[in-house]
Amino acid sequence: MKSGSLACVGLGMTLGAHLAPRSRNYIEEADVVFLSVSDPVVELWVQEMHPDVRSLQPFYAEGKARTETYRQMIDAMMAEVRAGRRVCGAFYGHPGVFAQVPHRAIAQARAEGFDAVMEAAVSAEDCLYADLGIDPGSVGCQHYEASQFLLYQRVFDPTAYLVLWQIGVVGDRSVSRTSTGAPHRALLLELLTPPYGPSHEVIAYEAATLPISSPRADRMALEALLFADLTPATTLVIPPSGPMRPNQAMLDRLKLLEAG
């Protein structure tokens, strides 16, 4: 194995509350730390753990395709790995959830013969279950990226929870916009209104990022989504529209099986 290495870790969602011991150790023991967070307070917090912290945020730019941004981020980290340094990439939330850069960087490092690992962390999904009181095992929970849900023929069950991530940029095919508006959301509502109805209650959710802040959990009618205040961090949670429907044929077969 070559001397350079890469560890991608997650900082969790809430400042100072979710960082696991092994992730902290990777940060503190690295030669260089690359950081991807949108809050300057979080940047300052990580800088207290290591003298060489380099923000990846400057690679973002208005109108710039995120695919190009991600490629440049990976190149920056891999340059240090190839130089034989222990590199840590520290990312907001979980490094493997809605985060292309860690996955692609780890795959690249391993393909070139370097040691590369990913450490699990608290994600927005974990916070969502806790903040909204949802047990995904009760009736089931379906997760889709909002634009993917809109652009592909997805088969979903309205008797389970439906969670649509990045609802604030639904329908963006340019991969460069930071928001889309009512016309794009209207297309999504065309898919959602028939199975749920326009007055079905949905939740616009955002996890808390600071210990002094509260999570966002705005409840509204589905039709109100058209002009709601949504950001790239907003997740749409759609509760079930009705009870689960028993599979009577399978129940009958199980009864015969158990009787035999």
**What is residue 183's DSSP assignment?**
H
What is the value of pTM for the model shown? 0.91
Q: Any idea which residues carry the catalytic annotation?
A: 66, 70, 92
Q: Using the predicted structure, report yes or no on whether residue 42 has a pLDDT greater than 80.
A: yes
Task: Write the DSSP assignment of 89-131 as a string of letters.
Answer: EEESB-TTSS-HHHHHHHHHHHHTT-EEEE-----HHHHHHHH
Give the count of alpha carbons within 13 A of 176, CB side only: 7
12: nearest Cα among 102, 121, 117: 121
Q: Which amino acid is at 34?
A: F
- Per DSSP bridges, beta strands 216-221 and 235-238 are unpaired
pLDDT, tens digit, 9 for 90 and up, residues 86-106: 999 999 999 999 999 999 999
User: Is 54 within 8 Å of 31 (Cβ atoms)?
Assistant: no
- Determine whether 55 is exposed, middle or buried from the number of CB atoms within 10 Å of its CB (0-12, 13-18, 19+): middle
What sections of the chain are H helices per DSSP? 21-29, 40-47, 66-82, 100-111, 124-132, 136-139, 146-151, 182-196, 248-259
Rounded CA-CA distance 260/120 in Å is: 45
pLDDT, tens digit, 9 for 90 and up, residues 189-232: 999 999 999 999 999 999 999 888 999 999 999 999 999 999 98
User: In the prediction, which pLDDT does 175 show?
Assistant: 67
Integer-rounded Cα radius of gyration of the chain: 21
User: Is 48 within 8 Å of 27 (Cβ atoms)?
Assistant: no
Q: Using the predicted structure, report yes or no on whether residue 174 has a pLDDT greater than 90.
A: no
Q: What is the maximum alpha-carbon separation in the chain?
A: 69
pLDDT, tens digit, 9 for 90 and up, residues 3-38: 999 999 999 999 989 999 999 999 999 999 999 998
163 φ/ψ angles, rounded to the nearest 5 degrees: -115, 120
